[in-house]
């Protein structure tokens, strides 16, 4: 017969299983270690020792009580940061700009990813913590409030606009439409068009960079030329319609026009000289040429008697001077600059 102070083995097994799986001890009366938690007093009575009960409201893992405290701010921020390998190039570049880290020397995704990781670790040159959105809103609100003058009755009025800082006149160039059109092109087409304009695109990693660079060049051409066909520092072979716009007025720079023909030897000899002159004149003079055989109406309207004929027009389309015969680079530059 089993003594009364001993329990069956099945009870020990059940208690052991609870300790392993749950990680808690039951009341000392039913504990495996119940004997060690009792002491005999002078009256030979068993008095259970006082023990601190563990709260079962907290989660357990592997027999240990897990902390229910909320994660620290740094841990939350690290979890909020996206993995650079899963980010788009534009997102990585935007975060680098917020941190004040330059990425001009990053020519591929791998180098850009490494630069972002270094910026987050604080090892990249010039790396800073990005400004929280709340701080940006507070700064913007402060700037807005500082731009207003407070009067004695407590009302604030905006300062009078300065006549010298009036906005420039709006251009007819529709940038949003141009951006939408350029985004529909392939990267190879964008690079080809940039190369034709003499714009280097080797450091442009993302397609959006190519689109913006090409749109900027097109906008610059639209502001430089009334027809949008002329570019600063280049010679454009224009049509009759484009010439009508260029001499129609509204331009801020003179126009140097070469009237030529494909069969004309002196015209072909002067072509490279005209390109060099246009490159040196830059944005100070619009340089163009027109084929007299294709557009005979304009050749007769301009009273062209010999080829090549170089004509200078002012911004309003008025003829200022003409020279018949081929000119070298220095002669073309001197002719154009005499009317700037």
Q: pLDDT by residue (tens digit) across 174-199?
A: 888 889 889 999 999 999 888 877 78
Enzyme catalytic residues: 264, 267
**pLDDT, tens digit (0-9, with 9 covering 90-100), for 206-223:** 899 999 998 888 888 778
CA angle 159, 165, 170 (to 5 degrees): 120
CA distance 307 to 270: 11
Q: Classify residue 113 by burial, with Cβ atoms within 10 Å: 0-12, 13-18, 19+.
A: middle
More confident residue, 242 or 93: 242
Q: How far apart are CA 87 and CA 67, in angstroms?
A: 33
Contact 278, 337 (CB under 8 A): no
Instruction: Output the pLDDT for position 67.
Output: 46
Average pLDDT for the chain: 74
Between CA 332 and CA 148 the distance in angstroms is: 54
Confidence of residue 34 (pLDDT cuts 50, 70, 90): very low
Q: Is the pLDDT of residue 338 over 80?
A: yes
Tell me how crowded residue 94 is: count the other CB atoms within 10 A of its CB: 13
Report the C-alpha gap between 246 and 226 in whole angstroms.
6
At residue 38, the 3 state secondary structure works out as: strand
Confidence tier at 56 by pLDDT (50, 70, 90): very low
Is the pLDDT assigned to residue 10 strictly greater than 60? yes
Q: 165 burial class (0-12, 13-18, 19+ CB within 10 angstroms)?
A: exposed
pLDDT tens-digit readout, 135-167: 555 544 554 444 444 333 444 444 444 444 333
Which one is predicted more confidently, 15 or 112? 112
272 compared with 166, residue with greater pLDDT: 272
């Amino acid at each position: 017969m089993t003594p009364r102070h001993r329990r069956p083995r099945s009870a020990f097994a059940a208690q052991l299983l609870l300790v392993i799986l749950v990680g808690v001890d039951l009341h000392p009366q039913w504990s495996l270690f119940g004997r060690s938690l009792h002491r005999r007093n002078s009256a030979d009575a068993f008095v259970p020792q006082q023990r601190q009960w563990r709260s079962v409201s907290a989660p357990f893992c592997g027999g240990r009580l897990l902390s229910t405290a909320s994660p620290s701010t740094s841990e939350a921020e690290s979890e909020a940061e996206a993995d650079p390998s899963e980010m788009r190039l534009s997102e990585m570049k935007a975060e680098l700009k917020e941190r004040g880290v330059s990425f001009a020397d990053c020519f591929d995704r791998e180098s850009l990813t490494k630069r972002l990781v270094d910026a987050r670790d604080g090892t990249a040159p010039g790396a800073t913590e990005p400004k929280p959105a709340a701080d940006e809103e507070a700064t913007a609100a402060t700037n807005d409030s500082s731009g207003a003058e407070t009067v004695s009755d407590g009302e604030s009025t905006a300062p009078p606009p300065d006549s010298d800082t009036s906005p420039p006149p709006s251009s007819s160039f529709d940038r949003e439409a141009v951006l939408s059109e350029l985004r529909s092109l392939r990267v190879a087409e964008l690079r080809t068009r940039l190369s034709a304009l003499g714009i280097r695109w080797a450091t442009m990693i993302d397609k959006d960079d190519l689109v913006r660079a090409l749109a900027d060049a097109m906008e610059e051409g639209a502001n430089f030329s009334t027809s949008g066909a002329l570019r600063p520092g280049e010679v454009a072979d224009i049509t009759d319609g484009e010439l009508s716009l260029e001499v129609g007025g509204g331009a801020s720079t003179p126009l140097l026009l070469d009237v030529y023909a494909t069969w004309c030897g002196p015209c072909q000899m002067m072509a490279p000289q005209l390109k060099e002159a246009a490159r040196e004149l830059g944005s100070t003079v619009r340089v163009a040429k027109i084929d007299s055989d294709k557009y005979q109406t304009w050749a007769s309207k301009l009273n062209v008697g010999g080829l090549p004929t170089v004509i200078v027009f002012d911004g309003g389309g008025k003829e200022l001077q003409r020279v018949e015969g081929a000119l070298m680079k220095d002669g073309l530059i001197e002719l154009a600059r005499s009317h700037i």
